[in-house]
Structure 1
Amino acid sequence: MYHSKKQWLYPETNPDDVTRLQSELNISAQLATLLVQRGHQDVEAAKAFLYAEEELVFHDPYLFEQMEKVVSRIKRSVDEGEMVLIYGDYDVDGVSASSVMWHALTEIGVMAECYIPNRFTEGYGPNKEAFQWAADEGFTLVITVDCGISGIEEAALLKDLGVDLIITDHHEPKETLPDAYAVIHPHIDPSYPYDKLAGAGVALKVAHAVLGRMPEELLDLAVLGTIADLVPLDGENRLLAKKGIAALEASKRPGILALREVCGLGDSVLNEESVGFAFGPRINAAGRLDSAMPALQMLLAEHVEEALELAKQLDKQNKERQDIVKTITAEAKELVEASMTEDRVLVVASEKWNPGVVGIVASRLVEAYYRPVILLCHDPETGKAKGSGRSIDGFDLFKELSKNEDILPHFGGHPAAAGMTLQSENVAELRERLNHQAESIPGDVFVPRVNVDLKLTVNDVSLDLITEIGKLAPFGMGNPSPRVVVADAKLRDIRQIGRDATHLKVQLAGDKRELDGIGFGFGHVVSEISQMAHVSVMGSLQVNEWNGMRKPQLMIQDLRVDDFQVFDYRGKKKSVQELKDLPKEHTSFLSFQGTSEDFPLHEDDEPLNRFVVLLDLPDDEGVLAEKLHEGVERIYCAFGQGDSFFERLPSREDFRTYYVHMATCERKNLRENLIRLSKERKWSKNTIQFMHQVFSELEFLVTMEDGLPGVNPEAPKRDLTEAPCYQRRIGRQQLEERFVYASLAELKERLQSLRSNKMQEAYT
């Protein structure tokens, strides 16, 4: 067996719904199943999801209760020549939202400038110093994008300064809302029909209203924040994402072209992964290491040369960010392993860390420990700790943090992620409180789980199926890339690949088709999965294009072997020394002949572990059968490592020659002549000892007065087979023939039979 690292959960679907969609929309059962799982049981709803660009339209922005008030105030700023400050956030969503808002306002004549706070000196969201600066500089209207809903004190200050504040945000609001001129927020506006917009999406709604049309030319910017901020890609977000990716692909915006070049995507077809894994990290890198303004300037650049210089700067910062993340992740794991292994919520802090990347590191720790994680950076000068948190399904991080507002003066976010600032002296208290709160959360919430969308066989997987599944794209939150399990597949090949052999390549076989699988970071499982195993592999399907050939490929995320496994270390096929690396707490080493002194041998009075290493074979198969039990998951057959293990049984001529030698040789020359005779007959030491033991058990030889063996003249005539050790040797020889010279398939069948018989005895 090989246990999967996560629980695989299979959501139930109503087969009638699947059949109806399959028939009405003329799609496969697999695609119909995926639509039902995503909540689109109704034919019209499923059709709208599949064909969003034809079936859906953007909602009227004036459905926001205060949108008319917002547009009127913005247009008044044009009439009165006011200076307007767009106040954004330093992540991809904030930067893209700021650029969307700037383009819309300047198009109608607003004198607008953008302000992105510095993560290190100002922190997340509005701050009093920045708002004071804005008033001093003559700005009479401030419009926040992707932030502001938590800035109660800051809003009050701006009001006292006589500056109007329009908040556009999508983050979780607190119980008390800021006293602003107007608020555009889909979560708190019951009149707007969709509440999952990202900050860039909210900014796009304002742009739509201000311009009096949907600004299609800004979709390439709005899609960056929508995908990178991990909002659900359903409803209006799905339409925005689909149209936005198409706009991104066709964009001639200098900043987008520059990003394509530094990411090596100049000729590639862009998709949601281009944003999530290429564009997004580089835009984010600026705000994580320094000011985010270069990222905004790149998106607003009017010339390719300027944009390219800025994109190269972001690319360099992203590489620096990657190195920093690697170092901090290792240090944070050391702290967890040292004192927090029993914690349900990990709150980890240090003075050395860069606060701009702790959100990424928190995500890495969630992956490693499957616990909610908060990473904080102490600033000894201010006495404050600043950081980010990431959570797991079933633990609403924003809700749980909200219970600690007395020690969390500044925080905001979502159920899955949050940012915060608090006094360093309160970090230990926060850790203690959150862990106490987590005690009421059911324990299974903290067990890694993954939803599997489809259970397939190798024969089910085809290019047509992958193309059809692709109709669900773009994938993201609320519409994840489908996870499939290719179940109980024959293993045609399994091997390590990559320069350092850390990756895995498998070839799965069905009755009609074969399927390649690639698992990055899974190279270690090669030693834990037998060539004879039937494996179930979980992952995502994609098309592998190489040398003009296109074929399906499975990107492996987890594996499982449900069957009993046998590993072949017989003879000299593999080094038996590898077996010393097996986990000691799970492994028992068995030696029936006492010939293996290099290993910590299993004690007879202790139960066998899950993994059993057979260093040799017993004289009787029943002895082996008695040892096995249902808990034994793997057997490593390592017998036959030595050259003398499979010695032939001495012939009757060998026995006669040995007996004659003992009967006729002079006593003083007994040892010397026996050595000469053994060389002539090519007897090993074991052979001589065996023949001597046989004759002794039959009482043909006895110990004489001089201490040397001699012939017993009174011994009755008996056959060699009457000697118990001869009988055992015959039995072991037969056992060797059955186990040593068998194919791996035959060996597994025989061991499985012994184990199964033992299991049946246990139940009867």
Structure 2
Amino acid sequence: MKIERIETHGEEQRIRQDFGVSELCAKVLACRCQDDEQIRQVLNQDLTLHPCQSPELTQILKRLDTARQRHEKVLIAGDYDADGLCATAIMKEALDRAGIVSGFYIPHRLNEGYGLSAQTVQLARDKGYSLILTVDNGVAAHPALTLAKQLGVEVIVTDHHVIQQEPECLTLLHPTRMGKPWQYCCGAGVALQLSMAMTGPRKRPIMLAAIATIADMMPLWEENRILVRLGLKYLNERQFTAIEALNDKKCELWTEKEVAYQIVPKLNAAGRLAELCNINNIVRYLLLEDPAQIESAAAQIRQINQKRRQMSDKMTKTAMEQMHPEDAFHVIADKEFHEGIIGLVAGRIMNETHRPTLVLAPSAQGYKGSVRSVPGLDIQVFFEDLRGYLIQFGGHAQAAGIEVAADQLEPLRQAILAKMETLDLALPEPTLQVLPVSAQEINLTALHELDQLAPFGQQFEPVTFEVSGLTILQYAKMKEVYPKWQTTNGVDLIDAISFNRELDNPHPASWIGQLQINRFRGREKCSILVETVE
């Protein structure tokens, strides 16, 4: 992999002077922030959320109050991913607290697909619902919205997905209409604003919206930055039992990384393997209070996630075996693949091979596929003149979903490969961007300050550091496998540890990886989680 060193062009000196931060943090801010306004957002420690007061939100509040007075039944129409599940739980709790009779429905991923459907609208009408409130979906549910109008069922749409055609609904609450500082909100973030307007700011909805913001990889600027910080603060109070129970082992400190790795996959797993559980029970789980019920349900969710991991590993292995390494665009189908897992597999193979990848599983009409692309290749543009091979296509520049008839699969594959030959596309060599720092810049004070820059994530990515100037005191293999260097910068002891079994260099000139604080039995120590060495 190519190493690309980030140049800060001395900007860190100005940032140190203007903002009073360490040289280490100044370098991070210099390479991750586009302007001083973003620096101020990162350094701002105010955790006060801003309540939205848009005309659309006011109109929704009036309609919901009318529903309460008339004893109408409101159906919350959610989605099966982590954002949609959290958004549904937020709205269900808010409506309950407001005294509004409500139910909720999450569609079956494989049998019903994404978003509000005409079938759900009809069932809602048959069961006496006069108002539908969507969360994390709705802007593209045009057939369902048309039927709702015909049946006399009013629909409020709250969503954050791209509006390609104006939805025909009573009211639309959307980040692009809400404006600053809410323009980056996910579905649960939009739901939180409505919840706060109804019942005030409360900890569980804030934690759920923070989890969803991390899950949906939303830009961590403006309100999202405050929301995730506040949500993590509340999570670390250890009062959200349903979230604590999902963790495989006790988490010392909830961070955005812990949430992304320990919580989000478990919430998403239930939607991916919809045949193993009723996805609506995940919403009920997030609202549980009884510890015994929580632990029983959490054990089942953890088992589903373990099944998801096993299936994903097996499918990835099969896909790698079937793959043609020489192909510029991998197209891999197997009758044993599971539709709910193909996106994960496509992402893995794309990351491993650095080639655009389409992985397909059997469907009622042939095959459903998930595409993951590489930088420089817009999937939407690429498939524009290939739509004739497809039954369905939807997505964005780097990820998409398709459906293709069985007899069109091989012609599609040939057409994809033929088109790749016509493109003047130089697929980039995999590059690891690193920020060079000297050993003298590393100390516990600087690393604590670095932690204060969190959360890291979309549009404010974690920095990979290249540390030089360390003196090696000892080199050994932990468990005879993993390399560990005990080093010093002349003042502090710094452990450099790698979990790359193939890495074996007793005397590197520099270490590339993440800087972190190692906490053990109340003691703290500077450490480097090493990806590679130079």
TM-score (norm 1): 0.64
1:309 aligns with 2:296: yes
Question: 1:394 maps to which residue?
Answer: 376
Distance 1:296 1:361 in 2: 26
Which residues in structure 2 correspond to 1:418-497 (within 5 Å)?
Answer: 418-428=400-410, 430-431=412-413, 443-452=425-434, 454-487=435-468, 494-497=475-478
Question: 1:48 maps to which residue?
Answer: 41
Question: 1:370 maps to which residue?
Answer: 354
Structure showing greater radius of gyration is 1
SS of match in other structure, 1:53: coil
Which residues in structure 2 correspond to 1:617-636 (within 5 Å)?
Answer: none
Which residues in structure 2 correspond to 1:29-178 (within 5 Å)?
Answer: 29-39=23-33, 41-42=35-36, 45-53=38-46, 57-63=48-54, 66-174=56-164, 176-178=165-167
> Residues 308 and 513 (structure 1 numbering): CA distance in 2 closer, same or farther, change over 3 Å?
closer
SS of match in other structure, 1:472: coil
1:278 aligns with 2:268: no
Kept after mapping to 2: 8 A contact 1:496/1:523: no
Kept after mapping to 1: 8 A contact 2:24/2:437: no
Kept after mapping to 1: 8 A contact 2:355/2:374: yes
Aligned length: 531
Question: 1:675 maps to which residue?
Answer: none
Kept after mapping to 1: 8 A contact 2:469/2:489: no
Question: 2:497 maps to which residue?
Answer: 518
Distance 1:469 1:363 in 2: 30
Q: Which deviations, in whole Å up to 9, do the C-alpha atoms of 1:396-432 show, x marking residues without a partner? A: 4455556655555555445444444444444445545
Question: 1:185 maps to which residue?
Answer: 174
AA aligned opposite 2:12? V
Distance 1:430 1:210 in 2: 50
SS of match in other structure, 1:125: coil
SS of match in other structure, 1:156: helix
AA aligned opposite 1:350? D
Distance 1:431 1:170 in 2: 33
> Residues 437 and 179 (structure 1 numbering): CA distance in 2 closer, same or farther, change over 3 Å?
farther
Q: Which deviations, in whole Å up to 9, do the C-alpha atoms of 1:430-450 show, x marking residues without a partner? A: 545555666687645532123
> Residues 378 and 45 (structure 1 numbering): CA distance in 2 closer, same or farther, change over 3 Å?
closer
1:346 aligns with 2:330: yes
AA aligned opposite 2:461? P
Distance 2:423 2:29 in 1: 31
> Residues 518 and 308 (structure 1 numbering): CA distance in 2 closer, same or farther, change over 3 Å?
same
Distance 1:194 1:391 in 2: 29
Q: Which deviations, in whole Å up to 9, do the C-alpha atoms of 1:55-90 show, x marking residues without a partner? A: xx5444233x53233222222222222211111111
Distance 2:248 2:327 in 1: 41
1:263 aligned to which of 240, 243, 248: 248
RMSD: 2.9
> Residues 423 and 151 (structure 1 numbering): CA distance in 2 closer, same or farther, change over 3 Å?
farther
Kept after mapping to 1: 8 A contact 2:342/2:359: yes
Q: How much does 1:96 deviate?
A: 0.5
Say which is worse superposed, 286-295 or 391-400, in terms of deviation: 391-400
SS of match in other structure, 1:208: helix
Q: Which deviations, in whole Å up to 9, do the C-alpha atoms of 1:604-659 show, x marking residues without a partner? A: xxxxxxxxxxxxxxxxxxxxxxxxxxxxxxxxxxxxxxxxxxxxxxxxxxxxxxxx
SS of match in other structure, 1:355: coil
Q: How much does 1:378 deviate?
A: 1.1
Distance 2:174 2:405 in 1: 30
Kept after mapping to 2: 8 A contact 1:172/1:414: no
2:365 aligned to which of 372, 375, 383: 383
Kept after mapping to 2: 8 A contact 1:541/1:553: yes
> Residues 407 and 200 (structure 1 numbering): CA distance in 2 closer, same or farther, change over 3 Å?
farther
SS of match in other structure, 1:525: coil
Distance 2:56 2:411 in 1: 41
Question: 2:5 maps to which residue?
Answer: 10
Distance 1:196 1:355 in 2: 29
> Residues 236 and 76 (structure 1 numbering): CA distance in 2 closer, same or farther, change over 3 Å?
same
Distance 1:538 1:310 in 2: 41
Distance 2:138 2:382 in 1: 21
1:24 aligns with 2:37: no
Distance 1:119 1:270 in 2: 30
> Residues 352 and 109 (structure 1 numbering): CA distance in 2 closer, same or farther, change over 3 Å?
same
SS of match in other structure, 2:35: coil
AA aligned opposite 2:195? A
SS of match in other structure, 1:204: helix
Q: Which deviations, in whole Å up to 9, do the C-alpha atoms of 1:181-213 show, x marking residues without a partner? A: 2222224x37455432111111112223334x4
AA aligned opposite 1:41? D
Distance 1:192 1:437 in 2: 41
Question: 2:311 maps to which residue?
Answer: 324
SS of match in other structure, 1:140: strand
Q: How much does 1:152 deviate?
A: 2.4
Which residues in structure 2 correspond to 1:705-744 (within 5 Å)?
Answer: none
Kept after mapping to 2: 8 A contact 1:152/1:178: yes
Q: Which runs of 5+ in 1 are unaligned?
A: 561-764
Between 1 and 2, higher relative CO (CA 8 Å, sep ≥ 6) is seen in 2
> Residues 45 and 316 (structure 1 numbering): CA distance in 2 closer, same or farther, change over 3 Å?
closer
> Residues 307 and 201 (structure 1 numbering): CA distance in 2 closer, same or farther, change over 3 Å?
same
Kept after mapping to 2: 8 A contact 1:126/1:148: yes
Q: How much does 1:511 deviate?
A: 6.1
Percent identity between matched residues is 29
AA aligned opposite 2:350? V
Question: 1:558 maps to which residue?
Answer: 532
> Residues 510 and 253 (structure 1 numbering): CA distance in 2 closer, same or farther, change over 3 Å?
closer
SS of match in other structure, 2:53: helix
Q: How much does 1:315 deviate?
A: 0.9
Distance 1:540 1:448 in 2: 19
Q: How much does 1:327 deviate?
A: 0.4
Kept after mapping to 2: 8 A contact 1:254/1:299: no
Q: Which deviations, in whole Å up to 9, do the C-alpha atoms of 1:524-562 show, x marking residues without a partner? A: 232xx4x4x5443321111223455432221122333xx
SS of match in other structure, 2:217: coil
Distance 1:167 1:438 in 2: 40
Kept after mapping to 2: 8 A contact 1:97/1:146: yes
Q: How much does 1:97 deviate?
A: 0.8
Distance 2:335 2:320 in 1: 15
> Residues 217 and 515 (structure 1 numbering): CA distance in 2 closer, same or farther, change over 3 Å?
closer
1:543 aligned to which of 510, 517, 523: 517
Distance 1:472 1:396 in 2: 32
AA aligned opposite 2:228? A
Q: How much does 1:513 deviate?
A: 5.8
Q: Which deviations, in whole Å up to 9, do the C-alpha atoms of 1:491-520 show, x marking residues without a partner? A: 665554447x3x333345656666432222
Kept after mapping to 2: 8 A contact 1:50/1:472: yes
Kept after mapping to 1: 8 A contact 2:180/2:222: no
